[in-house]
Amino acid sequence: MKTLCVFLLLVLLESSAGYRLGPPLSACSDMYPTGHNNSSQTIASPFTFILNTTTYRPGDVIKVFLNSSGDWFMEGALIQVRAKNCKGLTVPAVGTFFTEENEDFLETFNCFGETASALRHYAHYHIYNRTFYWTAPSVSVGDVHIR
């Protein structure tokens, strides 16, 4: 009986906590941060994406710099690239990501059954900026946006 109680307590604690070590697969579709008891953001984003190019060809590797403004920091992240005409959030991400060798905050994430189709946080630090890379899909999907 004691073992079962400890197990149930651990399950309840896990299910009621935020996702300190990265978002769950269920976040891939709507990209909404669950488990944090926060409402949607109502201010302009204090974070910007800076890319080394604004166009791509199939297979191109784009360097992306995620930057914070002022004193804002990130504690979590889920990043995808989607076709601009994706008709909502149910269309899978496009392309793949990779990080720099010594990255200690972001890791690739397999959304929609596609390897490295997203990036997510896997540590709980206060991060002000990060550099990562997106590889365009082998067939153009037209205009894309990073979210």
Q: What is the pLDDT of residues 54-108, one digit of tens each?
A: 999 999 999 999 998 878 888 888 899 998 876 655 567 899 999 999 998 899 9
Distances (CA, A) of 128 to 21, 27, 71, 74, 90: 18, 23, 8, 6, 30
More confident site: 48 or 35: 48
Q: What is the pLDDT of residues 17-41, one digit of tens each?
A: 445 567 777 778 777 766 666 666 7
More confident site: 105 or 15: 105
Whether 138 has a pLDDT exceeding 50, the answer reads: yes
- What domains sit in the chain, N to C, each tagged with a CATH number? 2-146 (2.60.40.4060)
Helix (H, G, I), strand (E, B) or coil at 14: helix
Residue 61's closest CA among 146, 147, 139, 137? 137
Please state the pTM of the whole predicted model.
0.78
